[in-house]
Amino acid sequence: MKKGFTLLELIVVIIILGILATLGFAQYGRMVERSRGAEARAVLGAIRTSAAAYRLENGAVTGFNSTLAGIGATVNEIPSACRSTHYFSYAVTGAGADNFTAIAQRCTSGGKTPDGVAGNITLASNFSLTGSDVWGGVGGY
């Protein structure tokens, strides 16, 4: 009696391994992209710290903007547009007496390679007595 696998059994195993590999690569790509969102969360946290310091100095967050948050076009600033050192570009999109909103927009071209698909992470902070931070996002971040 011969021992071994038939050609059909080997083909079935190869097909199953191919399906599992395809699913694994897709999941791996999503996890890598989510980890890139950590950059944005860290930078948005630093912007929040700047906004809190501004509020302590001025009594309100009104007037806090991207320039005061350290966002700009020079090398030492948080990038306001996509560039090869970051996966995201950043902006302060609104500031009131006790609150502000900042956004990190995923670079789809011109950012740190590889460029990603469109998406963003937002941070809305409220510095009133019942203050809170609300994180949001689009694109799996």
If we measure between CA atoms, which residue out of 123, 121, 141, 120 comes closest to residue 131?
Answer: 123
Q: How many CB atoms lie within 10 A of CB 94?
A: 14
User: Which pLDDT score, from 0 to 100, does residue 96 have?
Assistant: 87
Query: What integer pLDDT is reported at residue 2 of this predicted model?
Result: 73
Give the pair of three-digit tokens for residue 76: 């030492």
The whole-model pTM stands at 0.78
Contacts of 123 (CB under 8 A, 6+ apart): 44, 45, 47, 48, 101, 102, 103, 133, 134, 135
Peptide bond into 114 cis (omega under 30): yes
Q: What is the pLDDT along the chain (141 residues), one digit of tens a residue?
A: 678 888 999 999 999 999 999 888 878 878 888 888 999 999 999 999 999 999 999 999 999 999 999 999 998 999 999 999 899 999 999 888 899 999 999 999 888 888 778 899 999 999 987 789 999 999 878
- To 10 degrees, the CA torsion angle through 138, 38, 118, 69? 90
pLDDT for res 24: 85
Q: What is the pLDDT of residues 83-123, one digit of tens each?
A: 998 999 999 998 888 999 999 999 998 888 887 788 999 99
- 3-state SS assignment for residue 133: strand
